[in-house]
Chains A and B, each alone.
Chain A
Amino acid sequence: MINSLLWTPLVFGLIGLFLPKRLTGWWATLGAVATLGIATALVAGFDSGASGLQDTVDVNWIPGLGVDYSLGIDGLNVFLVLLTAVLWTAGTAFAAFREQERPHLFFLMMLIGETATLGSFLAQDLLLFVLFFDLMLVPFYFLFGAWGGDREGGPTAAAATLKMIVYTLIGSLLMLVAAIATAIIAADGGHITFSIAELAKHPIGEGSQRWIFWFFAAAFLVKMPAFLLHGWMPDAYRAAPLPALAVFSGVLAKVGAYGFLRVVLPLFPDATVEFQEVILVIALASILYGSVMAFTQTNVRLIAGYSSVAQLGFITAGIFALSADGADGAILQMVNHGLVVAPLFVIIALLVERSGTEDLREMGGMAMKAPVLAALFLIVTLATLAMPGSANFVGEFYILNGLFDSKIVFAFVAISGVAMSAYYALRLYQRTMHNRRPDGLESREINWRDGIVLVPLVVCILGLALYPQLILKRTDISVTQAVAAAEGPSGGSPKTLSRSRPGRTTATTTQLREPAFWETPPTAHPRQEAVQQ
């Protein structure tokens, strides 16, 4: 099952090469839908009470080098896999409704991208993870470079994409060295294995952890992108074709955050604790910088791009709170953000089609003639700014909760990000949908085709808002395990130690503490719900 999930997109993509041009888009969409079906079946069959991996595949791939082809799902990746399948379906369908130049290649690259992304989420072998992580770049290199737009007075699409590739590969090639070093140091002359679960059982020495941690962190932080490592983002985002950008921003950035949870926390717990505050500073800087940039930019793509920087900063902060709450929130927020940013880019594509410009100052007043589009956009906007009642609110709440427990100072700074997100999200909505309509701008209602793409995504946002427990219930055990190693030795601040929660460190219990008086969000508290069930 997990094999078919991983390879279905690629197989569809290859067969699509032999179909007539006008069919390839539909064929690719069918492939994405089939993948979505398999992913949904996997999630439906997911046993939320069990700890450890499910649906595993484990084959010796290169015995000579100790590399296994090993896949599996657990609470950390199950919803990210589903998110990937959902967003790819939307992105592919959106692209299929429009005429693409060289469609064979375009859709092949889209589907290779899906396989690579799913692979990096599913991989349970460190080297396989690195392989898929690098492989993700190749299709997007082609998609951004060959179908992207050259910018006047700026770099060409090819140059912008090259910058992106060099940036991201700086991290991931060092990660390759680091992954091999981890396995060899852990093997200590014995049999080399790259199995993440095996490596997590015997963490390597603290001295080695330090440099290896940074090699991995570099790869993940560039991918997100985090502040100071985001240099590739503006050019690449401006050049990218929007359907590809929707999935790129929605999913690929999350692989970086996921990598921290999957690899860094369990394998390098000592270094994680040691550098916790450094990463938190980077995360907070991303929040502040991303937010400030998002409300000063005038290019609509960049507003969405910088808001992603801020959101990913939030997610990183949640992970590096090194508490189960923070990491729970981070996973929920990864899914939320993916579900928000992909429709946002779809809407941006629609806005650009209507106004013929990407400049916010030249847009406005579109809601008058397009009330449905405006309503959908409003829902997305409110989710982006984490309106109470949305799943994003729950996610951010959890992150902040975890951060308050361990690093209260950082939590106060992070809160400002919540406020700022309201500003840039509403600014984007208002400037495009309301205000005076510039002369010559034609507004149209959303047509049924784009509706098919956009409405299901918005429904997902609403559904998750009503029932965030869907995710939290299934992720909790795995998340607890993932942070346990790093949580154990440090305990964050002394305060956390005194409030140590026995249920947190063992995998099978879901014992809960009493919610504090301030922990009463407008939605039912997820953990209370868990008790009721």
Chain B
Amino acid sequence: VNFNAPHIDYAALSPVLALTVGLCVVLLSGVFRPLHRTAPGLTLITLAATAGLLIWQWGDATDLISGALRLDDLAISISLIAILTAAFAVLFSIREPAAEQAGKGEYHALLLGSVLGMVLLAQAQNLVSFFVAIETLSIPLYILCATNMRREKSLESGLKYLIVGSLGSATLLYGMALLYGGSGSTDFSGIAAGISQEGVLSDPLVLIGIAMTAVGLAFKTSVAPFHQWTPDVYEGAPTPITSFMAVATKAAAFAVFVRFFDVALAPQANEWQPALAVLAAISIVIGNVGALGQESLKRLLGYSGIAQAGYILGGLVVASEAGVNALVFYLAGYAFMNLAAFAVLVARERETPYGDDIRAVQGLGRERPLLAWPLTISMLGLAGLPATVGFIGKLYLIEALVEGDYTWLAVFIAVGTMISLAYYLRVVAAMWMRPGSEAAGATPAIAGASPEADPIDPDAGRRIYLVAPAILAAAGVVFFGVIPQPLVEFAEHAGSSLF
């Protein structure tokens, strides 16, 4: 018997392998009781090693596993964003009640499992690997959302995410099946070839398939009107997990969104462009208006994430290289801005009895300037004010949109940004323009919270593992707002790997 083993490109697979090995080690560290304290450290080492291997592969474009995956600069850049976010989430999880309750090993292993799903998803160029990756990403998150077991809201959040997420996955899978039926291929380039044939384009089944995959992805990226789960899940989940979901999930889902639409469905661009543009516009309006009255900062950031998803989707709408560049740039900037905000949120949640209520940051400017500045910079950045990466990101997106003849959507972004000022600046005003809240001795005002579930740590605002990430992320927001060129080049690499 003559058997030719397939060629395996271990170098290009190395990030995925490193993550898998790390995941197993971290999980085992939880099993052996004396070792479970090492889990966060091991997780960080795994993430660092993966990031290193990814950077090593920077600039290459390799098809892996007979074309199921493709490691190119788009995949690498998005994976790096996800890994950076995960590393921040690990730091936020130090002394987090949820991590203690779930068991450190399991908690961190699940986190790594989700990262693995993201790294795979960013590389997926086949319907099967696409679906497997998106489930690998989602299932650990369903559990992680519910890890704060003494809080009702956390359990509710996990269950809600599970149900809505499954619905999204089912829709996605149905759409994939229809697309496969119409085009005869599961491969992205095969689909592109299949739907280019005459007659296939007008096949209603293919169009329905496209629509359903778009809906499924819109669920994952929390694009309105498929966003309803976002504020609830964000609010209920442990805050470190919320930060991870808000940034990394969005980045990974957008990566496959881009690859799927700009590669597999490129021949039908004229059909889906207007539809996605409308989704983006709805998202901008619903997200920004929804955030206006929120008292919970996590809900506020949830709605703001919906609006930001609308902006980011704009980069996909134009189906051009400039659009993908803008999208990746914005995602990277979005990561810095959100991580700075979440670091402060985690600190204040542990420090005050107000949880994630806006009162938790009242008078922060006097009390903890080292936390107030990062949150201020983050809010100004998300609002798109100059000298932050948010401004350059919007500039990038608007430039791509105007070039792609979607000026009306650019105007939508501008209008949405105006509305958003009202709630972002409300947070800034609470920090700098109000006296501090009389925190001492007050009973927790947040529904579903209990003293034993949320022990107050009066020094949380000084912990280096929270203050340093906050300052680092905020410094990134300002640095790339003033010297954006390195990040622009990073994004250009990603865009050029598709076009």
Which chain A positions have C-beta within 8 A of B433? Answer: 145-146, 156-158
Which chain B positions have C-beta within 8 A of A131? Answer: 386-387, 391
- How many A-B pairs have beta carbons closer than 8 Å: the answer is 96
A132 interface hit (Cβ, 8 Å): yes
Taken together as a complex, chains A and B put the C-alpha atoms of A102 and B435 apart, in Å, by: 13
Q: How far is the CB of A367 from chain B (nearest CB, A)?
A: 38
Encoded as 1 (CB less than 8 Å from any B CB) or 0, chain A from 146 to 184 comes to 100000000011100110011001100110110011001
Of all chain B residues, the one with the shortest Cβ separation from A142 is B432
CB neighbors of A among B379-430 (8 A): 380, 384-387, 391-392, 394-396, 398-399, 402-403, 407, 410-411, 413-415, 417-418, 421-422, 425-426, 428-429
B484 interface hit (Cβ, 8 Å): yes
Contact A177 B380 (CB under 8 A): no
CB neighbors of A among B358-395 (8 A): 365-366, 380, 384-387, 391-392, 394-395
Q: Which of B385, B392, B429 lies in contact with A134, CB distance below 8 A?
A: B385
A180 and B488 in contact, given A169-B418, A169-B421 (Cβ under 8 angstroms)? no
Contact A174 B385 (CB under 8 A): no
Among B386, B415, B418, B434, chain A packs the most CB atoms within 10 A around the CB of B386
Of all chain A residues, the one with the shortest Cβ separation from B329 is A64
Taken together as a complex, chains A and B put the C-alpha atoms of A169 and B424 apart, in Å, by: 14
A452 interface hit (Cβ, 8 Å): no
Of all chain B residues, the one with the shortest Cβ separation from A130 is B386
A177 and B410 in contact, given A141-B425, A146-B433, A162-B425 (Cβ under 8 angstroms)? yes
Encoded as 1 (CB less than 8 Å from any B CB) or 0, chain A from 172 to 203 comes to 01101100110010000000100000000000
Which chain B positions have C-beta within 8 A of A135? Answer: 385-387
Q: How far is the CB of B337 from chain A (nearest CB, A)?
A: 15
Of all chain A residues, the one with the shortest Cβ separation from B492 is A64
Q: How far is the CB of A158 from chain B (nearest CB, A)?
A: 4
A20 interface hit (Cβ, 8 Å): no
Which chain B positions have C-beta within 8 A of A141? Answer: 425, 428
A176 and B414 in contact, given A62-B392, A138-B385, A146-B432 (Cβ under 8 angstroms)? yes
Contact A166 B422 (CB under 8 A): yes
A180 and B398 in contact, given A134-B391, A169-B421 (Cβ under 8 angstroms)? yes
A278 interface hit (Cβ, 8 Å): no
Q: Which of A65, A145, A161, A177 lies in contact with B407, CB distance below 8 A?
A: A177
A127 interface hit (Cβ, 8 Å): yes
Contact B394 A176 (CB under 8 A): yes
B485 interface hit (Cβ, 8 Å): yes
Which chain B positions have C-beta within 8 A of A176? Answer: 394-395, 398, 414
Q: Which of B365, B407, B418, B492 lies in contact with A181, CB distance below 8 A?
A: B407
Taken together as a complex, chains A and B put the C-alpha atoms of A180 and B398 apart, in Å, by: 7
Taken together as a complex, chains A and B put the C-alpha atoms of A156 and B434 apart, in Å, by: 10
B489 interface hit (Cβ, 8 Å): yes
Q: How far is the CB of A181 from chain B (nearest CB, A)?
A: 5
A137 interface hit (Cβ, 8 Å): yes
Contact A64 B421 (CB under 8 A): no
Which chain A positions have C-beta within 8 A of B415? Answer: 173
CB neighbors of B among A489-517 (8 A): none
Taken together as a complex, chains A and B put the C-alpha atoms of A156 and B429 apart, in Å, by: 11
Which chain B positions have C-beta within 8 A of A132? Answer: 386
Taken together as a complex, chains A and B put the C-alpha atoms of A131 and B391 apart, in Å, by: 8
Which chain B positions have C-beta within 8 A of A173? Answer: 384, 414-415, 417-418
Contact A162 B418 (CB under 8 A): no
Q: How far is the CB of B429 from chain A (nearest CB, A)?
A: 4
Of all chain B residues, the one with the shortest Cβ separation from A175 is B414
Of all chain B residues, the one with the shortest Cβ separation from A173 is B414
A207 interface hit (Cβ, 8 Å): no
Taken together as a complex, chains A and B put the C-alpha atoms of A11 and B134 apart, in Å, by: 48
Q: Interface residues of A toward B: which range?
A: 35 or more
A145 and B485 in contact, given A134-B386, A176-B395, A176-B398 (Cβ under 8 angstroms)? no
Taken together as a complex, chains A and B put the C-alpha atoms of A191 and B366 apart, in Å, by: 48
Which chain B positions have C-beta within 8 A of A522? Answer: none
Which chain B positions have C-beta within 8 A of A165? Answer: 421, 425
Which chain A positions have C-beta within 8 A of B366? Answer: 102
A65 and B422 in contact, given A138-B385, A177-B407 (Cβ under 8 angstroms)? no
Taken together as a complex, chains A and B put the C-alpha atoms of A40 and B414 apart, in Å, by: 38
Of all chain B residues, the one with the shortest Cβ separation from A187 is B403
Which chain B positions have C-beta within 8 A of A67? Answer: 395
Contact B488 A166 (CB under 8 A): no
Contact A137 B422 (CB under 8 A): no
Taken together as a complex, chains A and B put the C-alpha atoms of A177 and B396 apart, in Å, by: 11
A177 and B411 in contact, given A63-B485, A127-B395, A166-B418 (Cβ under 8 angstroms)? yes
Q: How far is the CB of A216 from chain B (nearest CB, A)?
A: 13
Contact A65 B429 (CB under 8 A): no
Contact A158 B429 (CB under 8 A): yes
Which chain B positions have C-beta within 8 A of A134? Answer: 385-386, 391
Q: How far is the CB of B234 from chain A (nearest CB, A)?
A: 25
Taken together as a complex, chains A and B put the C-alpha atoms of A158 and B433 apart, in Å, by: 7
Contact A64 B485 (CB under 8 A): yes
Q: Which of B325, B410, B425 lies in contact with A180, CB distance below 8 A?
A: B410
Which chain B positions have C-beta within 8 A of A166? Answer: 418, 421-422
Encoded as 1 (CB less than 8 Å from any B CB) or 0, chain A from 104 to 138 comes to 01000000000000000000000100011011011
A137 and B392 in contact, given A62-B484, A65-B488 (Cβ under 8 angstroms)? no
CB neighbors of B among A9-38 (8 A): none
Q: Which of A145, A169, A174, A184 lies in contact with B429, CB distance below 8 A?
A: A145
Contact B385 A65 (CB under 8 A): no
Contact A177 B422 (CB under 8 A): no
Q: Which of A63, A127, A142, A181 lies in contact with B402, CB distance below 8 A?
A: A181
Q: How far is the CB of B396 from chain A (nearest CB, A)?
A: 6
Which chain A positions have C-beta within 8 A of B395? Answer: 65, 67, 127, 176, 180
Encoded as 1 (CB less than 8 Å from any B CB) or 0, chain A from 44 to 72 comes to 00000000000000000111110100000
Which chain A positions have C-beta within 8 A of B485? Answer: 61-64
Taken together as a complex, chains A and B put the C-alpha atoms of A131 and B488 apart, in Å, by: 18
Q: How far is the CB of A199 from chain B (nearest CB, A)?
A: 15
Taken together as a complex, chains A and B put the C-alpha atoms of A158 and B363 apart, in Å, by: 13
Of all chain B residues, the one with the shortest Cβ separation from A138 is B385
Which chain A positions have C-beta within 8 A of B425? Answer: 141, 162, 165
Contact A145 B402 (CB under 8 A): no
Which chain A positions have C-beta within 8 A of B426? Answer: 162
A174 and B394 in contact, given A145-B432, A158-B429, A184-B402 (Cβ under 8 angstroms)? no
Q: How far is the CB of B194 from chain A (nearest CB, A)?
A: 32
5 A-B residue pairs with CB within 8 Å: A65-B396, A65-B488, A141-B425, A180-B395, A181-B407
Sorted nearest first, the 7 A-B pairs with minimum C-beta distance are A64-B488, A173-B414, A158-B429, A135-B386, A131-B386, A158-B433, A134-B386
Q: Other CB < 8 Å A-B pairs besides A131-B386, A162-B425, A173-B384, 4 of them?
A: A102-B365, A131-B387, A138-B387, A158-B429
